[in-house]
Structures are given as structure tokens and as C-alpha cells.
Amino acid sequence: MRLALPLTASLMLSSAIALAQSPSGPPPPACEGAEHRQFDFWLGDWAVTRPDTGAVIGRSRIRSASSGCAIYEHWIDASGRDGRSLNGYDRQRKAWVQFWIGSDGGVLRLQGGRQGEAMVLEGEMPVAGGGMQMQRITWTPAADGSVSQHWQASADGGKTWTTSFLGVYRRAPAAEPAPD
């Protein structure tokens, strides 16, 4: 059975189709704004080193995903343990968010944004025995193209912070990280 559209509905549908096919082209992708490019300095294939010795402590592959609306990370440490994160700019919150899952079962949710040239994201993580610990990760691009990552934790509500991880991301050949 074929249904006929009323004339007004048919005209509205025709107008919508014509507008969508107009010479100006389709609307731009949803994530072209400058705020969506604030973390692009982290994109690439990286050898991650200790800042004091230069020893490689891991590898990371960071890719643009979801038509530029997300950044996807695959981290592998020197012992072969890995983790993945999905990062994106949330327009409603006007903040960057990260969702991290490590091969140790740890899950971390962070939120924040640019502070000067650095990207700073913060959140809380459950600790063994109960309670929560504040987490803060700062990524800072350097003039030589490297990026430092400083991960800190606070058990006293942010009064004092200790370093959990400090690494320098240096460009590496694409074949070094494990395939996704």
C-alpha cells in the first residue's frame, strides 16, 4: 500500500531536500571550532621517555577520531601493559573530557581545559580500601615538538600533590606502537 503525502508535507520535504543539496554544500562538520583543536598537539606516534635519563618507558599512538570530534589514545608501557583513552571537547560543559581504561582495570574520568599552552584535566579515582584520590594530568607542548605529561595525585583534597608519572613524548616512527 502506498501512502500519498499531503501537498504541504510534500512541498516541505522537497524544500528540505533542495536546501540540503544547495550549491553551498553540506553543513560543516560539528567539531571544526578552535576549541576542538586545542589538544591536537598531542596527535601522533610517540616514544615516551623519562625526562632525567631519556630511557624509553612506553609508546603511545594518538589519533583523531569521530570526524575530528575525538582524540583516541593507545598507550603501551615498557612491560607491555596498555591503556586507552577517549578525549573530546564537550560543548555543553565547555570543557575537555577524558575517559581512560587501563589494563589493570583502573578507570579514570577527567575534565578540564587549556591553561596557557598546557592542557590540564582533573578528576577522581577510587583507591584500594575505599575513598577517592584526586588526579591531575598536565600535557605541555615544547618548542622542539615534544610534549611533557605530568600526572599528579592528591589524597588530601588538593592541598598537596605527588607525581604519579612524568614522561616526555617524542615523535617516533608509526610502526613502533602496537596496532589498534
Q: What domains appear along the chain, each with residue ranges and CATH number?
A: 34-171 (2.40.128.20)
Give the per-residue pLDDT at 28.
Answer: 55
Category of 9 on φ-ψ map: left (φ > 0), alpha (ψ -120 to 50) or beta: alpha
- Pick out the chain residues at pLDDT < 70: 1-29, 174-180
What Å distances lie between residue 67 and 33, 63, 74, 173, CA to CA?
13, 11, 18, 24
Kindly report the number of other CB atoms within 10 A of residue 107's CB atom.
12
The helix/strand/coil state of 130 is: coil
CA 34 to chain centre: 15
Kindly report the number of other CB atoms within 10 A of residue 167's CB atom.
22
Give the per-residue pLDDT at 127.
Answer: 85
DSSP state of 22: S
Give the per-residue pLDDT at 59.
Answer: 96
